Amino acid sequence: MEYSYPFSTDWSTEEIVDVIAFFQAIEKAYETGVQREDLMSKYRRFKEIVPAMAEEKTIFREFEEVSGYVSYSIIKQMKDAPAGSKIKGESRKRK
């Protein structure tokens, strides 16, 4: 992919790496599918770094603008899916 991931300059290097890993899991969900538990653990870590819902929405929107991937729909699917499920985006990209 030829785009930059959204991040805050207030985050540590480790936090930036963890947020990038989360967005890579979102990409994987659209490309090949991702195990619910793997995505859940990355999302939980993302929420430790970005606890505010407003900031989460802003970062998701920034990611969608540069990548075309809609994070919200994948997270909703993850929350609704039973344990052991594979999460897969309905289409490769929205754009």
pTM above 0.85, yes or no: yes
pLDDT for res 91: 64
Other C-beta atoms lying within 10 Å of the C-beta of residue 4: 11
End-to-end CA distance of the chain: 15
Pick the CATH number of 13-84 from 3.40.50.300, 1.10.530.10, 3.40.50.460, 1.10.220.80: 1.10.220.80
pLDDT tens, position by position, 34-68: 999 999 999 999 999 999 999 999 999 999 999 99
